[in-house]
Amino acid sequence: MAASTDNQYQQLLAMDKQSLIYNTEPNWCQLCDNLTSIGLGVVLVNCLHTFCIGCLKVSLLNATTIRCPFPNGCYECIGSLEHREIEALLSPAECHDFMNRQIAALEKDTDSMQKQLDLLKIASDASVVPNPEPVECPICMDTCEAYKGVTLTQCFHCLCCDCLIELIKLAEDVDVKCPIKDSDDKACESIIQHREIKSLLSADEYNRYLERSLKKAELSAENAFHCKTPDCVGWCLIEDNVTLFLCPVCKAQNCVPCGALHAGKTCQDFKHSKEMQTMDKLSHEEVEKMLTDGVAMRCPKCRIALTKIAGCDAIVCSICKTQVCWATKGPRWGPRGPGDTSGGCRCNVNGQRCHPNCQNCH
């Protein structure tokens, strides 16, 4: 039973990835009433009605709705074609004409609320929804001709394509918000949908957007670990007790506790070699003088000499990775890690700095 269930699950996954689902046994076409051979009919995912490919395409070329055409007036099927099915059956130009016919049909409806509901239904299956009539773009203030702009599907605000593309390209956040403000200067909280972004951007621009999204996700994750190979983009989320990260990009073997590449060496050997390298660069006397002059300090955990050239007072030991407060010369956090002020420098606790000379260690 378990094997059968697993097989059905895999079939469902495979079906979800296909643009069209073809009949696996002869079926009657619900439009022409002819028997359709195996593989020459299309089964609509939404309602499971079957049509021969020719009849279904002809129906779409003349349709003003995404509803299933079943079955010649007997009763109206409430199912609808998915956007991937329409794209697979029609050419890009035919898809464009199909969308225009739907919008033209909406314009004949005098009920504005019904227009919005119908438009939302169309939008759920379309990559982008064009403006059905000329509007003034609220960003550039120029007139945007019909079908030259985009109606955002979450809030129905309309912008010209050029302004919307520039907004997405310049956005710092992964979630790009609608830039429109109301009469009270309150910003719209709606998010531009991923399918809208993908449709508007070129392939290169979309790849750059994905890279930016990936980097943002890495920076926002508390347990992210980036591969230590220079210029490698590989990273992962580290779970408890994980000590090794095999980068899927460059195949390098990263030691997570050390935060370094030291294949063939134990962690202790690596730490010792790093310390020896540091000591080779500076004599013992020079290190002691730097410690006395305050331009260096000892790591509170491994006791290696640390220096700070510039920037805030939050530093990380290159050997043991302890987070250190330069102002107090002690650990930033307690034994429970980031956020634990019980054994750390307690900066900003009760609004107080950890030291009179603190330069934003938190």
Q: Is the pLDDT of residue 1 over 70?
A: no
313-345: burial string, b at 16+ Cβ within 10 Å, e else: bbbebbbbebbbbbbbebbbbeeeeeeebeebb
| Averaged pLDDT of the chain | 79
- The rounded distance, in Å, linking the Cα atoms of 91 and 87 is 7
Q: What is the pLDDT of residues 209-256, one digit of tens each?
A: 877 877 777 777 778 888 888 888 887 888 778 888 888 888 888 998
Q: Return the percentage of the chain with pLDDT > 70, whole number.
A: 84
Q: What is the pLDDT of residues 24-53, one digit of tens each?
A: 888 888 888 889 888 899 888 777 888 999
What's the whole-number mean pLDDT along residues 152-164?
Answer: 84
Single-letter residue type at 113: M
Closest among 52, 53, 58 to 29, alpha carbons compared: 52
Indicate which residues carry an active-site annotation. 312
Do 118 and 99 form a contact (C-beta atoms < 8 A)? Answer: no
Q: Would the pLDDT of 123 be above 60?
A: no
Number of other residues whose CB lies within 10 A of the CB of residue 98: 22
Cβ within 8 Å of residue 46, ≥6 positions away: 68, 79, 80, 81, 82
Number of residues in the chain: 362
pLDDT band at 111 (very low <50, low <70, confident <90, very high): low
Q: Per DSSP, what are the bridge partners of residue 254?
A: 245
Q: What is the pTM of this model?
A: 0.38
* Region of residue 185 (phi > 0: left; psi between -120 and 50: alpha; otherwise: beta): left
